[in-house]
């Protein structure tokens, strides 16, 4: 809202037909600067500068200035005014003030010219002119020249604790960032939207409203409202709806109901609840840029009720709150505020919100998002679980840049802010970034182009906010890989790959590897896939692939390794029972939980659970104990979801001693004779332990 030219203040602050001295006019210029009316300050300072020598009186009639004054020289064909040569002391003071007014009014071309003149004519009252000169060069994409000015400023002001010294350091980093071509996203296409939404002197804050409409704010003359002051209608911000067709094209715009748009305040940056019945928006006093309040209005029987300000947990008295955004689930309201308790300047905050639009539990988003400088215009994109916002404090191209902060799944809070790059970001102010559900089409607000409606008699090259569309190329996902024999490393042809979307957005299906063991499959967006590779006579392998939240094309590589099913039994290591019993110990149950998962993956096999004992004890007792133990394992597997038709319990007692490698690597059978011949008790006990085992054998597939 601070981007609006406030030339109507002429009518509010001057009475037609009076005359003023240069001193009085300078005071008026200074007052305009204090009130944020920078374009009007340009008028004052420029006029003073070219009549300062003869101290003429100036007569003001509304927008017209009538007097005989020195005609300014022009720097170029665009009409920029040339600073006076060999200026007097009085002129030097005005040169510095005019340079600052141009910068504050976002006229970066003229600001560069006048800050150059200011630095050629330094004045102790303006110690930071060189820093601001560097800033204007940066705004005009002259990064190398800006770096030189920032470095020179640091040499001239050798005080690392000084605020502007630190800012110069930060701006040098920003310039280097902006020069790096890696920060240009060549896949993004940005276009200035047409006059359906870019209406009047400014348009900004486009937001989703319904299937048929989007909402935005603009300053446009309109006879629909009876303004308290007829001149205000040129510059007051109101909310507008823009109708969209099935192709997403903007058809027509219309002013929002009058009960919300007022005749004496700005209305802007609106966001609507998921059910379409509660609207949040910012209201601002045009005569006080520091007075912004978030309002809520509800729809009842098709009519919008009288708006009410949100409570003090959002609108802290004496501080600014603006840019509300309600999430698509209707449970959170993000906004920006310079209220106490933040990191400094404007910060991004979030509050819980109930179905009636009442808020509670305010939280600052912390240092990954907020900085000591300003962060504004939050937008939460549910599809990618990411917050988009604009910041002056993070490293960027200059001015406000758009950043992304994704929620960390481990901390369930926002992670590092990442600059989304050019061309979405420029050296000017870029904000109000939003994306459609799939992240393919987005919109932003930027003052990167000169606003013709804002030019003045002194050729003030005002950069006004306009709306832009961003399009990404179509997002494609490809999964590819090979299936190998785990033991030999050879590729496996005709292996089956099963695709199962656990979110059930995609029908389950299967494909096969080719003769080279290779497969590939295009994926739809927003799926979490369980994959299984299988082939007869092999155990299956599995993987999980997810492209949830991905907004850029990606190729996934997933290989599988299949193990041949052995002819004999496979020992389940670590299964233990209570002494002389068939009761499974807790550690054994943990191991069997993995067997459950194995059998769930290999759901095409039936197995025999085989239990063995050592040779101590009678044959009949050992046979009975092993059968009970095998049945105990089968019972546990059945209790955990494995079909009993796939399981057979078989106790072998001491009848099948284990075959193991000896110290020389030769396979030996742990018969009673072999064990009795072992030289130590430790080796004997170890052999008995190897014989006391639980194993399984695949019976059929």
For 483-496, write each residue's pLDDT tens digit: 999 999 999 999 99
pLDDT at 453: 53
Domains of the chain: 9-126 (1.25.40), 189-471 (2.115.10.20), 477-564 (2.60.40.1120), 570-700 (3.30.1330.60)
Mean pLDDT score, 219-227: 54
**Residue pLDDT, tens place only, 445-487:** 998 887 655 444 344 556 678 999 998 877 899 999 999 999 9
Task: Give the length of the chain.
Answer: 701
pLDDT at 51: 62
Model confidence, pTM? 0.65
pLDDT at 451: 65
pLDDT at 116 > cutoff 90: yes
Average pLDDT of the chain?
86
- Do residues 324 and 317 lie in contact, with contact meaning Cβ atoms separated by under 8 Å? no
Q: Is 346 helix (H, G, I), strand (E, B) or coil?
A: coil
Q: What angle do CA 470, 372, 183 make, to 5 degrees?
A: 35
Q: Of 464, 445, 468, 446, give the one whose Cα is nearest residue 455.
A: 464
Stronger pLDDT, 51 or 393, i.e. the higher one = 393
pLDDT at 54 > cutoff 70: no
Encoding tokens for residue 688? 């008995």
Question: Alpha-carbon distance 651 to 649, whole Å?
Answer: 7
Residue 341 Rama label (left phi>0; alpha psi -120 to 50; beta)? left
pLDDT at 67 > cutoff 50: no
Encoding tokens for residue 400? 């406000």
**Residue pLDDT, tens place only, 355-381:** 888 889 999 999 999 999 999 999 999
**Residue pLDDT, tens place only, 663-690:** 888 899 999 999 999 999 998 988 888 8
Q: Of 406, 461, 469, 466, give the one whose Cα is nearest residue 434.
A: 469
pLDDT at 55 > cutoff 50: no
Mean pLDDT score, 536-554: 90
pLDDT at 20: 53
Question: Alpha-carbon distance 53 to 55, whole Å?
Answer: 6
pLDDT at 428: 87
pLDDT at 70: 39
Question: How many CB atoms lie under 10 A from the CB of residue 425?
Answer: 29
**Residue pLDDT, tens place only, 4-38:** 333 333 433 433 333 456 788 888 889 888 877 78
Residue 269 Rama label (left phi>0; alpha psi -120 to 50; beta)? left
């Amino acid at each position: 809202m601070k981007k609006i030219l406030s030339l109507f203040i002429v009518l509010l602050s001057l009475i037609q037909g009076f005359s003023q001295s240069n001193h009085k006019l300078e005071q008026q210029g200074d007052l305009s600067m204090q009130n944020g009316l920078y374009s009007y300050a340009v008028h004052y300072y420029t006029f003073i500068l070219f009549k300062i020598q003869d101290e003429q009186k100036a007569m003001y009639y509304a927008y017209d200035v009538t007097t005989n004054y020195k005609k300014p020289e022009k720097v170029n064909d665009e009409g920029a005014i040339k600073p006076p040569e060999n200026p007097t002391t009085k002129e030097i003071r005005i040169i510095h003030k005019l340079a600052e007014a141009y910068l504050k009014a976002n006229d970066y071309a003229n600001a560069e010219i006048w800050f150059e003149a200011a630095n050629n004519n330094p004045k102790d009252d303006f110690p930071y002119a060189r820093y601001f000169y560097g800033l204007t060069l940066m705004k005009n994409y002259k990064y190398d020249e800006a770096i030189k000015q920032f470095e020179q400023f640091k040499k001239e002001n050798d005080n690392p604790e000084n605020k502007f010294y630190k800012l110069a350091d930060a701006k040098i980093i920003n310039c280097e960032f902006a020069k790096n071509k890696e920060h240009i996203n060549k896949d993004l296409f940005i276009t200035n939207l047409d006059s359906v939404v870019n209406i009047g002197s400014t348009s900004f804050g486009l937001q989703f409203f319904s299937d048929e409409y989007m909402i935005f704010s603009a300053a446009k003359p309109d006879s629909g409202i009876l303004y308290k002051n007829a001149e205000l209608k040129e510059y007051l911000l109101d909310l507008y709806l823009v109708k969209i067709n099935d192709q997403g094209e903007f058809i027509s715009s219309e002013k929002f109901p009058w009960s919300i748009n007022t005749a004496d305040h700005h209305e802007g940056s609106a966001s609507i609840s998921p059910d379409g019945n509660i609207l949040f928006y910012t209201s601002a006093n045009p005569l006080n840029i520091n007075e912004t309040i978030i309002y809520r209005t509800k729809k009842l029987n098709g009519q919008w009720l009288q708006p009410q300000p949100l409570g003090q947990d959002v609108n802290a008295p004496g501080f600014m709150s603006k840019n509300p955004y309600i999430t698509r689930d209707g449970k959170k309201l993000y906004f920006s505020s310079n209220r106490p308790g933040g990191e400094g300047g404007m910060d991004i905050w979030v509050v819980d919100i109930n179905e009636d639009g009442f808020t509670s539990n305010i939280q600052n988003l912390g240092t990954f998002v907020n900085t000591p400088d300003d962060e504004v215009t939050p937008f939460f994109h549910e599809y990618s679980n990411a917050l988009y916002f604009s910041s002056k404090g993070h490293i960027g191209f200059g001015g406000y840049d758009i950043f992304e902060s994704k929620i960390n799944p481990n901390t369930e809070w926002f992670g590092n802010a990442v600059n989304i790059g050019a061309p979405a970001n420029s050296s000017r102010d870029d904000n109000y970034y939003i994306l459609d559900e799939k992240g393919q089409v987005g919109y932003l607000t930027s003052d990167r182009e000169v606003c013709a409606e804002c030019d003045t008699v002194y050729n003030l090259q005002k950069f006004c906010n306009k709306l832009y569309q961003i399009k990404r190329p179509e997002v494609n996902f490809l999964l590819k890989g090979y299936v190998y024999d785990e033991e030999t490393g050879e590729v496996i042809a005709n292996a089956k790959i099963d695709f199962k979307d656990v979110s059930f957005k995609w029908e389950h299906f299967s494909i096969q590897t080719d003769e080279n063991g290779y497969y590939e499959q295009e994926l739809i967006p927003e799926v979490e896939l369980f994959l299984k590779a299988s082939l007869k006579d092999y155990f299956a392998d599995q993987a999980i692939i997810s492209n949830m939240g991905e907004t850029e094309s990606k190729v996934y590589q997933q290989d599988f390794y299949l193990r041949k099913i052995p002819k004999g039994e496979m020992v389940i290591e670590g299964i233990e029972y209570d002494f002389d019993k068939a009761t499974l110990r807790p550690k054994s149950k943990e191991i069997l939980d993995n067997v459950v998962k194995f059998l769930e993956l290999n759901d095409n096999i039936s197995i025999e659970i085989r239990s063995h004992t050592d040779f101590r004890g009678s044959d009949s007792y050992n046979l009975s104990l092993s059968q009970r133990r095998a049945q105990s394992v089968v019972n546990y597997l059945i209790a955990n979801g494995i079909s009993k038709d796939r399981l057979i319990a078989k106790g072998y007692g001491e009848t099948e001693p284990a075959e193991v490698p000896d110290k020389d690597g030769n396979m030996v059978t742990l018969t009673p004779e072999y064990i009795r011949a072992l030289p130590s008790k430790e080796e004997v006990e170890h052999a008995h332990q190897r014989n006391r085992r639980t194993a399984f054998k695949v019976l059929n597939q």
